[in-house]
Amino acid sequence: MIKTIGCIGLGVMGAPIAAHLISAGYDVRGYARRENFFETEGAELIKSGMTAMSNPAAMAAECDLIITNVIAGEDVYEVLIGREDAVIHGAKSGANERSIVMDHSTIAPEMARQIGDGLKAHGVGWVDAPVSGGSIGAKAGTLVSMLGGDDTDIQAILEPLSAYTSGHRHIGGMGAGQVAKLCNQIAQVVTIEGVAEAMRFAAIHEVDQNAVMDVMMQGFASSKMLALMAPKMIDEDFSAGMESRLHVKDLSIACHASSEMGQSLPATELVCELLAEMQKKGWHKKDTSILYQHIKK
């Protein structure tokens, strides 16, 4: 039974996830790569009961489950396997006591399999478990997780996972969770571009954008992305719910992984290029609804 949980990566996703786990009664350890994090942004987590750890290995030695929430696949690899003080050097790997690592980052499926193989070679469990719902879902505890890994490991993590998710699905073996997450990102971001073009089309014809959005929500165009992004575009409020730079990262991973298998993703590649252009304008920390501003010129 999982009682002690270590959280690596305590940003906009990791911090609320850790807070939910503390509220659910777990003994939670935290490690942040940012210097003085626990004296500044992370001070509230310490007040609520988190124990700060000096490095990933020391954390892993005390934890049944280690959860990672970092940005790039290389970062996940480093904190889990690559560094001298990585998780793998402290994690429990005995027959009767074995740590499991669950990664909520969005990384390449092949990287997820590589990390999983490395951990399993040392007797450590692995579940790639990217999430959908963004910072809003993390704060509300309503994230949805796509799971890749062995049945035994997945069954073990379901109880703590339920502390901050409203749904999950075991997709398949290692890396399958990441495949499902990238499918989600492809559909999500291409839809955001469609919403941007629809709202701009309404604007240039000088019709009420809110009325158009309302009637679209009653038809086949209805979607969560329309409901979330159209009001931002209409109000031109591009404050980040999901930073556009992260969608560039995710779509780049999807396009690269697809290209390696000889498959093109024309719409995804186009939207990725548009978002990449926007990064050059300094809009990388704006919400992906900024696609509206890009086509407004």
Q: Tokens for 252? A: 């780049």
- At 128, list the tokens: 């790639």
The pair of three-digit structure tokens given for residue 75, joined into one six-digit string: 């970062």
What's the count of helices (H) and strands (E) in the chain, helices before strands?
A: 13, 9
Q: Are 119 and 125 in contact (CB under 8 A)?
A: yes
Bridge partners (DSSP) listed for residue 98: 93
Cα–Cα distance measured from residue 134 to residue 139, given in angstroms and rounded to the nearest whole number: 9
Q: Label residue 30 left, alpha or beta by phi (over 0 means left) and psi (-120 to 50 means alpha).
A: beta
Active-site choice (139, 181, 232, 286):
181
- Enumerate residues 6+ apart whose C-beta is below 8 A from 17: 7, 67, 69, 104, 138, 143, 164
| CA pair distance 145, 52, nearest whole angstrom | 26
Query: Is 181 considered catalytic here?
Result: yes
Cα(221)–Cα(235) distance, integer angstroms: 20
Helices assigned H by DSSP within 31-175:
43-48, 56-60, 73-77, 109-120, 134-140, 151-161
Task: Residue 4: name the closest of 76, 79, 68, 62 by CA.
Answer: 62
Contacts for 96 with CB less than 8 Å, ≥ 6 apart: none
Residues with catalytic annotation?
A: 181
